[in-house]
Amino acid sequence: MVDFTNLAYIKLRPVNNSQFEGMISSIFIENERILGTYQALRDGIVFTNKRIIAINVQGITGKKKDFTSLPYSKIQAFSIETAGVIDLDSELELWFSGLGKVKFEFVSNANVSEICRTISTYVLN
């Protein structure tokens, strides 16, 4: 499992959903689909209609990968910070039951309001 206390997913940028789809489609449940995909160097996160999947690409070759599933049903609270004039990055903080806080940082062109709506749709219903 990704150690969220010691690992900062920083500077996540939006990428095409196909970037990680081949890696994670085999772990999807019935009717699960990708809503958004973000990448930082080799690692990334994928928002689906069921959960957030954190992908940690390991080793020199990148063949070893760690997939951490963060179900929306376990989110107790979340917070977004939009980009400003000087601080161009956005942040998403999520508090999970049994896990604690998970923090993601996005580049300025990431639409964190859309991410917030996505999370709200699945957490608040």
Largest Cα–Cα separation, the chain: 43
As beta bridge partners, residue 14 has 38
The residues, ordered by sequence, that sit 6+ positions from 108 with a Cβ below 8 Å of its Cβ are 83, 88, 89, 90
Q: Are the C-beta atoms of residues 70 and 102 closer than 8 Å to each other? A: yes
- Classified as helix, coil or strand, 67 is strand
Q: Which tens digits make up the pLDDT trace of 9-22?
A: 568 999 999 999 99
* pTM (two decimals): 0.86
Residue 8 has pLDDT above 60, yes or no: no
What Å distances lie between residue 2 and 18, 55, 104, CA to CA? Answer: 22, 8, 13
pLDDT reported for residue 47: 96
What Å distances lie between residue 61 and 57, 99, 117, CA to CA? Answer: 9, 30, 36
Q: Are the C-beta atoms of residues 24 and 45 closer than 8 Å to each other? A: no
Domains of the chain: 9-123 (2.30.29.50)
**Among candidates 43, 41, 49, 39, which has minimal Cα distance to 17?**
39
Q: Which tens digits make up the pLDDT trace of 46-95?
A: 999 999 999 988 888 878 889 999 999 999 999 988 776 666 678 899 99
pLDDT reported for residue 4: 58
**Among candidates 103, 17, 92, which has minimal Cα distance to 25?**
17
